[in-house]
Structure 1
Amino acid sequence: MSGELPPQVQNQLAQLQQVQQQAQALAQQKNQLEIMVKESDMALEELGKIDEDVTVFKNIG
């Protein structure tokens, strides 16, 4: 018996690897979004501590 996998198994393996890559990319996106949410929550918390008549500037970049 040769060491090659049947074509069907090769296709399934390729699909599995593609799904694993997609899952990894989604996990990275999820982490980035969670960081953005935490930063937004912290900013809102800080904004809640100041008086309403205070001028607030947004840092861009």
Structure 2
Amino acid sequence: MHITETLGEQQREDLVAALEDSGGITAAEFCPLRYHLMLVRYDRELYSSQDVLNRVTSQNVNAKLIGPV
């Protein structure tokens, strides 16, 4: 996922925590030194990539899907 805005460290931590608290999302992390890129692992039987994007944007973060969707 590409985060289209600059987030501070606390904002990144809060976003990861919010996503990981969602059932079906098993891991979320920002790429080291590339804080605009986020990897999210999720249960594909429960969520689509669009669902995950909606979870991110519901946290008032602008983002776009990249890679396989």
TM-score, structure 1 as length reference: 0.30
Structure with the larger RCO, 1 or 2 (CA within 8 Å, 6+ apart)? 2
| Structure with greater proportional strand content | 2
Q: Higher Cα Rg: structure 1 or 2? A: 1
Normalized against structure 2, the TM-score is what? 0.28
| Bigger helix fraction | 1
